[in-house]
Structure 1
Amino acid sequence: MHTYHTPLDLVRERSPERPVAFARPGAVALAARWFQENFKGDVFYAVKANPSPWVLETLAANGVRSFDVASLPEVELVSQLVPGARMAFMHPVKSRRAISAAYFDHGVRTFALDTHEELAKILDATGQATDLNLIVRLGVAAEGAAYSLAGKFGVDAFEAPELLLAARRATNELMGVSFHVGSQCMRPTAFQAAMTQASRALVRAGVFADVVDVGGGFPSIYPGMIPPSLSDYIASIDRGFSEMMVHETTELWCEPGRALVAESSSVLTTVELRKGDALYLNDGSYGSLFDATHTKWPFPVKLIRREADGATREVEGPLKPYRFYGPTCDSLDHMPGPFWLPEDVREGDYVEIGMLGAYGVAMNTRFNGFGDTETVVVNDPPMASLFGLAPRSIPLPRPESQNVVKLSRARGKKRRRR
């Protein structure tokens, strides 16, 4: 990949006509080292968040060599890029072919499940193997999460004990529990609460867990969403683990995705048309801006302009809120924002959209023939950071009308006559 000092340098050198993803490997390296130094267990990177080769290679070079994989292609990708990596196939529903290939061709031994049927499938697809690490996914409450992931996966509290006992009997190796507190969890205590639920299920089943996997949900920074320090999440997990009835040898795992990579990438888009407060871009919800549509997150933005003489600058000035439309023919390709940009945005300007290292380019489709994104490396800091690379917040601008201070006397008090 070509390297530029900043996005401005790329625009100055050549005016890109397709979206450009800016990779910041240094941000991934710093986040990887932080988790390695602070989490008292094994850190499994959730590959789904960003499977870009540069991400996986940077993580491995900085100590993260365990990976949470959700499909056979992810297994194959990790096997190719990080030989000898430890992989956990944590999707609770897998095809027989995927299970078999992961086990026999790639040496995967750890599989998640949340039903008796999936347990039977795993055993059958691996030839009744007894060297499996079986992880039972529990359904837990999503306290303080941007959106819950409990609706699709996770055995409920009533059925969990029987499934835990069956998993314990099915293997001579590790049996454990996992859960997911929800994506972009803003409440550290959610982890401790989920661990309490897991502990109750284990006690009712009468089994000890060899593995406690607290899953993902570790947050990043977005406009209007400033999470507590990641140290608070680690402290909550430590408290929860200390209160569980586990062996001295029980392993503690986590599966961060967003927190490891969100800061590491931004995407440069082109304004194809301005229509009032609507900007039509060459990337959208079928590309890197999936979350801007489906979760309606107002990602941080910067406006870059290249003048006719080649002069390139970041445009500043009075801001106003905009909404975005992507390049496809679908009216659902709409990002409501608000995205705060200077008032004089015009066709041909570039909008850099930040904090897209997680679930950004990874969500690209080829709908309408779009989705072709170039990737280059830049050395500038992200727009915000939980790891000290940039400010720890992204303030939301307010309309002028909200900045007006209104003075009034307290209710019930009459003005004194003179």
Structure 2
Amino acid sequence: MHDIRTLRADPAAFDAAMARRGLPPVADDVLAHDAARRAAQTTAQEIQSRRNQLSKEIGQAKRQGGDSTALEAEAVALRGRLEALEAEATTAEQAQTSLLEALPNLLDAAVPEGMDESNNVVLHQQGEPARFEFTPKQHFELGEAWGLMDFAAAAKLAGARFTVLRGALARLERALGQYMLSLHVDEHGYSETSVPLLVNTPAVYGTGQLPKFAEDLFRTTDGRWLIPTAEVPLTNLVAGDILPEDALPLRFAALSACFRSEAGSAGRDTRGMLRQHQFGKVEMVAITAPDQSEDEHERMTRCAERVLTGLGLTWRRIMLCAGDTGFSASKTYDLEVWLPGQAAWREISSCSNCRDFQARRMGARFRPNDVKGTAYLHTLNGSGVAVGRALIAVLETHQQADGSVIIPEVLAPWMGGIARIG
């Protein structure tokens, strides 16, 4: 959510910021509702002041035996006018909020211009795509050949975009999640957290998925929402709170199932596990003071990068351009991993600094040590990383000519002695 004072101070600059995301000017409309609300509230306050005065005059007239009929008639008329003004102010405020809550976050000045992923900027690459003496297979070709990756069984149970994993592949998926979570908790200082997979509407609103992206979510019959990422419950742990500055930063990590409807993705990545309705992910969330968030963003991204390096994968860091940066983010680094079977780079992690955008929606504040009053927190989130895509990358990167796959050594504590699948 945006601070209305930012629009009032410089409407043209606000519209220019939205134009970077390809949006039309909106400041005039927002400020028109804001002016209507403020005018109605000001007049209402004046009327309420007059009603208070009338109450005194009516009481005085009655005590002195005078006629208060005219005064009482004026009070009744003002009450009706006051109710109308309060309704007018509420309507204007709702219209203003409706506009503001549909607008994405202001972008960091460092975010490159551009309207789609073709304008994203590669900042760093770790390693070079491996050369194979054979034609590398895609993950689903390997998994189906072993009989351990079953899309037909999943379709029978739940339809398209689900997968059944068996045996060593199911264990590999579990090992990846445990490796990532243990790394972030034991070495990166995140607090392990187990969160609900169902959340209420205020929680999904707070992190910015609602109201604009409702079609991307699954909703239960009792009005709850299946989480699209553990970012939602983790970030909302501080909703409505006022934290002492000394408690910051807070760092949470969770391994959870995630659920996405994949609305609008018909025909994209229909083979294999790349785009699923249900998948596992280790999520990192940080809650910081404003002057900490830039450093925290870099730190969080390096934590995700370490996961990929530990798995022996080739990866690169991307800064997303203006048109590709997510709704709630001010700046986003994507990590892409090289998939030899596809001969393509694919996203495996996204780390974003949302600054105070989500905190305003959630009412999450902190109390600075040396300043009176409170200020909004900054929130950050990052994949650390997507488990299914890590499994894909491990299979395709570490495959051998005989059709087997060597398991990275870092996963050994969770693989029960399995060093190769195939």
For Structure 1 versus Structure 2, the TM-score category normalised by the shorter chain is under 0.3
Q: State which structure, 1 or 2, has the greater radius of gyration over its C-alpha atoms.
A: 2
Q: How does the TM-score come out when normalised to structure 1?
A: 0.27
Q: How does the TM-score come out when normalised to structure 2?
A: 0.27
